[in-house]
Amino acid sequence: MDLRVFTFASINIDEVYSVPHIVRPGETISSTERQQNAGGKGANASVAAARAGAQVHIAGLIGKDGLWVRDLLSQTGANVEQVRVLDGVSTGRAIIQVDRSGENAIFLFPGTNHKLAKADAHRAFARCTKGDWLLLTNETTAVAEAIAHAHSLGMQVLWNPAPMNSRMMDAKELVDMVDVLVLNETELLELAKQIEGVDYESDSSQDHVGLARQIIVEVQIRAIIVTLGSKGSIGLVRRSRVNSHSILVSSEPASAASSSSASISSSGKGDDVVEIQLPCAPVPKEKIMDTTGAGDTWVGYFVAELARTQNESPESIGSLATLTPAMVRQAMRFATYASGLAVTEMGAIPAIPERSRVEAFLKTQNI
């Protein structure tokens, strides 16, 4: 059976306002355009995974005001049987400002996203099989319960802990049950502060690889992805033992890159660690319209491509330990170019490209 992607998803209604600049404290400005779209980090990533070709099963809660969002998610080909309607509570909302350069500022009203409970996780994963992927973020409640249950079922867990909770439960215990972490620079530093044994002050704010290396030594994690904006991607993949872990450091492409090539080298203590360097997608700055859903697009495409490559490689089904550097690089490239396309259009879900567009974009770079 093909590996599937299950999502324990935040589901929002996005209200997007185009503004000349992000509003300052005490300032009143006029918006030039308003859009209402489906959104939420979990929903966005779910749609990205579906458009990338994965079999996606979404679990989440909406209010009656969000029925149209569930219909839209269903139209992407995702299974929405576990997207339930909760009476008396509004669907989550995101109020998004987008300035002329495409940068954004967001505040959230959690709504039904903060009503998810342990029982929802058990219900959501009832049809999973060992090796299926779970993708989730920190925009919902019951995150720890969902991770623990998925881990007990033998699922592969990809966790994007955004927004990062500075009062998270035992971070090491939780991360030990995760296969892949996706964080930005700020979230990486916050996680490092919460894991005993990691000396986060010894590494400069720019040494993300150093921090990630420390974390991977302390926890039973298979991969870490750190989004670095326009700085490109670095992947460190340990390949010497069946039970080895890997570490990835990657980026959300938000601007042009000078090159689309990747390089590989080996380094590491004791184990054979392969380093992959990958620039962001070559998107001219003048074409960037909205970065709102770029990171979610990256995550969704990445997990979908990992599932696809595992499906095509029988010896690696159900295990990240057998991922090769070539498989990781392939997933990183697809994710990078998908999110590069996403920033050229307005909105989150409306901007997520179909797989055919990503493949065409890659061909223009002779990849």
pLDDT, one tens digit per residue, over 313-345 is 766 554 554 667 778 788 888 999 999 999 999
Task: Assess whether pLDDT exceeds 70 at residue 354.
Answer: yes
> pLDDT tens, 274-300?
677 778 888 888 899 888 889 999 999
Note the pTM of the prediction, 2 decimals.
Answer: 0.87
Q: How confident is the model at residue 186 (pLDDT cuts 50, 70, 90)?
A: confident
Instruction: Kindly report which listed range (92-96, 194-198, 264-268, 338-342) carries the lowest average pLDDT score.
Output: 264-268
Measured CA distances, 176 to 146, 149, 152, 156, 294 (Å): 14, 13, 12, 12, 27
For the chain, the residue count is: 367
What is the arithmetic mean of pLDDT over 150-165? 92
Query: How far, in whole angstroms, is CA 11 from its chain's centroid?
Result: 14
How much is the pLDDT for 337?
94
* CA-to-CA dists, residue 127 to 58, 123, 130, 141, 201, angstroms: 12, 9, 10, 21, 44
Q: What is the arrangement of strands in the sheet containing 263-267, beginning at the earlier edge strand? A: 247-249, 233-238, 273-278, 263-267
Calculate the dihedral angle through the C-alpha atoms of 225, 229, 233, 237, rounding to the nearest 10 degrees: -10
**DSSP state, residue 166:** T
pLDDT score, position 240:
44
Does residue 212 or residue 367 have the better pLDDT?
A: 212
Tokens 């990747």 correspond to 262
Residue 155 has pLDDT above 90, yes or no: yes
Average pLDDT score over the chain = 84
Q: Cα dist. 220→1, 174, 367 in Å?
A: 27, 10, 34
* pLDDT at residue 358 in the model: 95
pLDDT for the residue numbered 194: 87
Domain 5-364 = CATH 3.40.50.300:
no
Task: Count CB neighbours of 79 within 10 A.
Answer: 18
> Which of 7-21, 38-52, 115-129, 206-220 has the weakest average pLDDT?
206-220
Residue 215 reports pLDDT greater than 90:
no
Average pLDDT for 146-163? 94
When pLDDT is cut at 50, 70 and 90, the band that residue 211 belongs to is confident
Tokens read off for 197 = 């044994």
From the list 111, 137, 114, 116, the residue with the least C-alpha distance to 15 is 111
Q: Between 53 and 172, whose confidence is greater? A: 53
**Residue 248 confidence class, pLDDT cut points 50, 70, 90:** low
- Whether residue 50 is predicted with pLDDT greater than 90 in this model: the reply is yes
